[in-house]
Amino acid sequence: MAASVLIAPDKFKGSLSADEVALALERGLLERAPRLRVDRLALADGGEGSVTAACSAGFTAREITVTGPTGDPVTAAVAVRGRTVLVEAAAICGLGVLPGGRTAPLTATSRGVGQALRHVLADAPDTVVLALGGVATTDGGAGLLQELGAVLHRADGSPAGPGGGGLADLRTAELGPVRAAFSGVDLVLATDVDNPLLGATGAAAVYGPQKGADERDVRRLNAALGHFVRRLEAGGATGAAALAGAPGAGAAGGLGFAGMLLGGRVRSGADHFLTLLGADRLLDRSDLVVTGEGSLDEQSLSGKLPVALARRARDRGVPVHAVAGRCTLPASRTAAHFRSVQALTDLTDRDCARDSALSAQLLAQCGRVLAERWIMSGGDGQEDAADG
């Protein structure tokens, strides 16, 4: 009976989508082992590509037009399967949709995410998964809340904002009917970020510089977010300060905080998406798993997708092999999760992270190596377990 292989990678950011990575690996595997039974599963953990991954696993894309991070309209897709809806924040207010790539650290808004949520709530879903990651905003989810009916006003009665910088002038913050918006709906906040909203490990300090914020901007944003929390407490949102300090509140520029105000529950993006995409069913019928991501590094070991998948495979006694754009970990750090690791940077001196065609060629090469060393040979290639 032919061996069954599950190819389940995350995207190689800037180079290939998760599905493109899986296709390239499959091509290499089948060149050397044409009788293999191969399942492909494109993975995502809540960041960019989450809707695409969901649609490759049976969800249906539905396009909507909403406000982008700088106020221009953007067309994004939400993913629907039955009464479950996935909204990807990165597709709406992400760094990838900034006009011309120009950052706006103080004024980028999450209003479009609120519009998307309002749109999907009209269909009365049972579950809404808000995928948090890769956004250009640091507004504490204020724009989202405004779109759902929150009153966030300056002293003259005009709406506060846009963006986190505008919260410094906030006088009135009343959630009103917003907290009932998700009554009867399970709101899942999918993220693997455990930062609080404020302080040295908060949304502005840790992630603001990635969104164009300099040191002065970071101080302004952190102060404005703190003022936002205090105004919410004064406006009757008892518990806002406690939520601001909760793990995950700082996810996606504070969208995690806004989601918590709506009654959402934070869940590991990696584990939630593995379940949502049906990884367990595929693992149950697999003899070997190939996973990977653009950078296999220290952060990966904290529970990112490849490691989360490896843990589930280990529970079933299924060996896992990893392929990465680069690997900064020694074999002693990866051996607990992966039988072998291959890194594209070990195969070329060229910058494959910016060359999708080269990355695909090298991934196919990795697939051929896996077939030869671990499948066609009967799986006795342990001496090559530290390829990366």
User: How would you write 265-322 as a 3-class SS string?
Assistant: EEEEHHHHHHHHCCHHHHHCCCCEEEEEEEEECHHHHHCCHHHHHHHHHHHCCCCEEE
Checking if the pLDDT of 324 tops 50, the result is yes
Q: How much is the pLDDT for 378?
A: 64
C-beta of residue 297 within 8 angstroms of C-beta of residue 14: no
Domain boundary (270, 304, 329) is at 270
Which of residues 28 and 57 earns the better pLDDT score?
28
Kindly indicate the confidence band of residue 380, based on its pLDDT and cuts at 50, 70 and 90.
very low
- Do residues 170 and 90 share a domain? yes
User: Do residues 317 and 236 share a domain?
Assistant: no
Q: Are 222 and 106 in contact (CB under 8 A)?
A: no
pLDDT of 384: 38
d(CA 158, CA 151): 10
Taking the alpha carbons at both ends of the chain, their separation in whole angstroms is 31
* pLDDT for residue 45: 80
Secondary structure of residue 104 in the 3-state scheme: coil
- Give the mean model confidence (pLDDT) for residues 64-76: 97
Distance of alpha carbon 292 from alpha carbon 324, whole angstroms: 5
In this structure, of 63-72, 78-87, 376-385, the range with the lowest mean pLDDT score is 376-385
pLDDT at 53: 86
pLDDT tens for 195-246 read 999 999 999 999 999 999 999 999 999 999 999 999 999 999 999 999 999 9
The boundaries of the domain holding residue 364 are 4-43+280-384
Q: Compute the distance between CA of residue 147 and CA of residue 153 in angstroms, rounded to an integer.
A: 13
Q: Which residue has the higher pLDDT, 110 or 303?
A: 110
- Total domains in the chain come to 2
CATH of the domain at 99: 3.90.1510.10
Q: Check residue 388 and give its pLDDT.
A: 39
Q: Do 257 and 231 belong to one domain?
A: yes
- 354 burial (CB, 10 Å; 0-12 / 13-18 / 19+) is exposed
In angstroms, the CA 82 to CA 66 distance is 23
Residues 195, 119 within the same domain: yes
User: Does residue 275 lie in a domain region?
Assistant: no
Sheet bearing 60-67, strands edge to edge: 60-67, 73-81, 84-88, 127-131, 186-191, 265-268
- Over residues 33-52, the pLDDT tens digits come to 999 999 999 998 878 889 98
**pLDDT for res 14:** 81
Residues 113 and 74 in one domain: yes
Dihedral class, residue 253 (left if φ above 0, else alpha if ψ from -120 to 50, else beta): left
Could you tell me the pTM of the whole model?
0.87
In this prediction, residue 66 has a pLDDT band, given cuts at 50, 70 and 90, of very high
pLDDT tops 60 at residue 379: no
Give the domain-ending residue among 244, 270, 296.
270
Instruction: Tell whether the model's pLDDT for residue 387 goes beyond 70.
Output: no
337-372 per-position pLDDT tens digit:
999 999 999 999 999 888 999 999 999 999 999 999
Contacts of 276 (CB under 8 A, 6+ apart): 54, 57, 84, 86, 129
pLDDT score of 46: 79
Please give the mean pLDDT across all residues of the chain.
93
Residue 107 scores a pLDDT above 60: yes
